[in-house]
Amino acid sequence: MIYADSKVLLEVRGLCASVNGIEILKNLDFTVRSGEVHAIMGQNGSGKSTFAKVLAGHPSYEITSGSVRFEGKDLLALTAEDRARAGFFLAFQYPIEVPGVGNSQFLRLTYNTLQKQRGHEELDPLEFDDFVREKMKLLEMSPDFLDRSVNEGFSGGEKKRNEILQMALLEPHLAILDETDSGLDIDALRIVAHGVNQLTTKNNAMVMVTHYQRLLNYIVPDYVHVMEAGRIVKTGDKSLALELETRGYDWVSTDTQVAASVSA
Amino acid sequence: MNAALKNLVNQPYKHGFVTDIESEVTPKGLSEDVIRMISSKKNEPEWLLEFRLTSYRAWLKMTEPEWQNCHHRKIDYQAISYYAAPKIKAKLNSIDEVDPELLRTFEKLGVPLHERMAMAGVAVDVIFDSVSVATTYKKKLAEVGVIFCSMSEAVLEHPELVKQYLGTVVPTSDNFYAALNSAVFTDGSFCFIPKGVKCPMDLSTYFRINTEESGQFERTLIIAEDGASVSYLEGCTAPAFSSNQLHAAVVELVALDNADIKYSTVQNWYAGDENGVGGIYNFVTKRGLAKGINSRISWTQVETGAAITWKYPSVVLLGDGSIGEFYSVAVTNNYQQADTGTKMIHIGKNTRSTIVSKGISAGKSNNSYRGLVKIASSATNARNYSQCDSMLVGEECGANTFPYIQVLNNSAQVEHEASTSRIGEDQMFYFAQRGVDAEAAVSMIINGFCKDVFQQLPLEFAVEATNLLSFKLEGSVG
């Protein structure tokens, strides 16, 4: 939701980033205020996932220029773990498996790490168990999830739910959901979207990276951005997503080129 | 992240100090005269001297094994001193008479020897270079008939038992290093659990090499009579020298009818520095004979130290219905090399064996699992399950699995599973994105990987092993 008095959470200016010497993000600008829901769409290879990973501090990417401020702090100066501790969350497109490590043990470690950071009390295993079970209801997850190894043998949909569960536990100020809808059947999509909607407040913000308009029927964005060749080339409201669904992406680039040549 | 990781890498090996104590070290070199000298120093009976000399003569005709996946400079056996002992005045009557410097050494290593300070419920025999310096809780154990003492003492006080069992599981000419050990072994632990007795506390030996130019050749013998059971723990450390020290031990276990021996090792010998200089050469022969019906022998090892590890704790499943188990975590970092595994030799009917091996390689190290499962023609309905998992940390290390399976009875069921995984940038990034630092992440990933083995360890050891692993691998990811 767009609020009149909301503060700027994330401000990306002129961001350029490359991997192995190949420039992926090219002069990207992007602003998110608290309370807002954004969707970033675009074709494969347009740089959407790279943008999400760069913001989260993935070590493979080199920032060549630009700035990112997160709640006024220089995000790029922070390590990946400090970004997370500052309230930045990335729901992974491909969550990793950790064999032998119980999911509840992992969830508790991450939860307590953030609690400590925020000066709140850490929970012992029993207290945490009650707490996490309550959160799991939100995502209609069976308690069996707690006893299994982290993401090991989880179906695609189970992995994504486990990501949103972590988001529910960690209460980030800004969450980027990287293709959270991919690999979900319609029921799972509805459950995950419901969970995300429950977690959205006036004080946080969500950015969804997606290929499909489908997700946006359930999580209605305030802004839809189209990314192409490493930058945002068009921004609109939710109707833009519907237009992309019917017309594809090509018209956007043609429009942009026309606009660019006119302004030149 | 990288600076923090570098600091962690550079943490020194914390057991690398040298104790300044007056020692008696024999001149370097090996000959029949040296063996006679060792034997006479220990006031050994004639039969034991013969045992040593026979072994020595066999050893002279043998050559070092070369099939293992390890490389090292040729060992000059004439450049090693075969006997080093702290000077002890006379026979000690109590722990209080042990040289205070030695007491301090073991306290520093976390093995206090005063019974009032000692680990509750664990009796400890401590070996310093070539000799046993103290054994705790001896009297308490004697009350239930358990004999727990140094090998030297057993030779003098229980010669009939030693003579009956020594060399029956690992014959003197079994292999090059076992033959060498049989010729020159100096001390070790002896445990005898009589019929029907469940040993009331864990027995433990702590080995410490202190002298730079000596080798350590200890010999351990554990016998569990009918229906007896014992849990035995072994720990080892050594100072950080730039030279390599040879450690060639032999451990023999004998389990009679319905007896149960559980042998756990946390091996933390000095592994050499980050350039591969120094470290212990660990060539060890460990074997258990599950001789009686329904007997059980279980090896659990956590191998983190030594420049080279060459070690295959094995079980000969002779008794019908006997069980052999091998649970292993082997960790190598920097330039360490480990070639370790097990042999399960099924001879009796309805025998079962389980092998769970977890190899973790980091740095430029090389970690190999080598195992033999043999089902003899007599072993009807034998079963084996093997699981060998390797984890690679970083890009420059190696992991290998060499499973050998020989089946001569077609009623056998033999299963082998293997996997290889890597702690990579993406795994670490996942943890980091949840606010977890590299140290906690590696610790959690590794402990998850090793869980099946760690849960076999006695509690105090499990905690130690967990810490040791985190400590050892911190900084190797990134």
Contact residues, chain A, for B431 at CB < 8 Å: 81
The chain A residue lying nearest B423, using CA atoms, is A98
Average pLDDT of the residues of chain A: 92
Q: Taking residues A179-192, what's their average pLDDT?
A: 90
In this predicted structure, what is the pLDDT of residue B237?
66
Q: Give B115's pLDDT tier (boundaries 50, 70, 90).
A: low
- Are β-strands A73-74 and A62-70 bridged in parallel, bridged antiparallel, or unpaired? antiparallel
Buried b (16+ CB within 10 A) or exposed e, A191-209: bbbbbbeebbeeebbbbbb
In this predicted structure, what is the pLDDT of residue A131?
95
Q: How far does B273 lie from chain A, in Å, by closest CA?
A: 28
Q: How far does B243 lie from chain A, in Å, by closest CA?
A: 39
The chain A residue lying nearest B429, using CA atoms, is A58
Contact residues, chain B, for A85 at CB < 8 Å: 435
Query: Which among B342, B336, B330 is positioned nearest to B453, based on CA atoms?
Result: B330
In this predicted structure, what is the pLDDT of residue B3?
36
In this predicted structure, what is the pLDDT of residue B9?
35
Domain ranges of chain A: 8-97+171-263
pLDDT (tens digit per residue) in B152-168: 889 999 999 999 999 99
Interface of B with A (CB under 8 A): 1, 421, 425-427, 429-437, 440, 444-445, 447-452
Contact residues, chain B, for A60 at CB < 8 Å: 425
**Which of A19, A20, A98, A173 should one mutate to test binding to chain B, selecting the residue with the greatest count of B CBs within 10 A?**
A98
This complex has an ipTM of 0.94
pLDDT higher than threshold 80 for residue A140: yes
d(CA B12, CA B472): 10
Tokens of B260: 């149960």
pLDDT (tens digit per residue) in B283-296: 999 999 999 999 99
pLDDT higher than threshold 60 for residue B91: no
In this predicted structure, what is the pLDDT of residue B90?
47
Query: Which among B166, B379, B69 is positioned nearest to B174, based on CA atoms?
Result: B166
In this predicted structure, what is the pLDDT of residue B89?
47
Q: Tell me if A109 and B451 make a contact (CB, 8 A cut-off).
A: no
Q: Give B5's pLDDT tier (boundaries 50, 70, 90).
A: very low
Alpha carbon separation from B431 to A59, A84, A164, B280, B445 (Å, rounded)? 13, 10, 15, 35, 10
d(CA B453, CA B447): 10
Q: Which CATH architecture has domain A8-97+171-263?
A: 3-Layer(aba) Sandwich (3.40)
d(CA A31, CA B139): 77
| Residue in A80, A85, A101 nearest the CB of B445 | A101
The chain B residue lying nearest A172, using CA atoms, is B434
The H or E element containing residue A234 is strand A231-236
The chain A residue lying nearest B3, using CA atoms, is A79
Range of weakest confidence among A210-214, B4-8, B249-253, B395-399: B4-8
- What is the per-residue DSSP string for B330-360? EEE-TT-EEEEEEEEEE-STT-EEEEEEEEE
Please give the share of chain B, as a percent, with pLDDT higher than 90.
44
Q: How far does B13 lie from chain A, in Å, by closest CA?
A: 28
Q: What are phi and psi of B282, to 5 degrees?
A: -110, 100
**Which of B423, B433, B453 should one mutate to test binding to chain A, selecting the residue with the greatest count of A CBs within 10 A?**
B433
pLDDT higher than threshold 90 for residue B116: no
Average pLDDT of the residues of chain B: 84
Q: Is A99 on the interface with B (CB under 8 A)?
A: yes
In this predicted structure, what is the pLDDT of residue B92?
53
The chain A residue lying nearest B420, using CA atoms, is A99
Range of weakest confidence among A149-153, B33-37, B474-478: B474-478
pLDDT higher than threshold 50 for residue B2: no
In this predicted structure, what is the pLDDT of residue A255?
67
Q: Tell me if B450 and A100 make a contact (CB, 8 A cut-off).
A: yes
pLDDT (tens digit per residue) in B118-154: 555 567 777 776 666 667 777 888 899 999 988 988 9
Please give the share of chain A, as a percent, with pLDDT higher than 90.
78
Q: Tell me if B435 and A170 make a contact (CB, 8 A cut-off).
A: yes
Please give the share of chain A, as a percent, with pLDDT higher than 70.
96
Q: Looking up tokens 């402990």, which residue turns up?
A: B447
Q: Tell me if B444 and A105 make a contact (CB, 8 A cut-off).
A: yes
- What is the per-residue DSSP string for B21-54? --EEEPPS---HHHHHHHHHHTT--HHHHHHHHH
pLDDT (tens digit per residue) in A50-67: 999 999 999 999 999 999
Contact residues, chain A, for B451 at CB < 8 Å: 100
Q: Residue A91: helix, strand or coil by DSSP?
A: strand
**Which range has highest mean pLDDT (B109-118, B336-345, B373-382)?**
B373-382
pLDDT higher than threshold 60 for residue B4: no
In this predicted structure, what is the pLDDT of residue B45?
95
The chain A residue lying nearest B1, using CA atoms, is A79
d(CA A51, CA A40): 10
Q: Tell me if A98 and B1 make a contact (CB, 8 A cut-off).
A: no
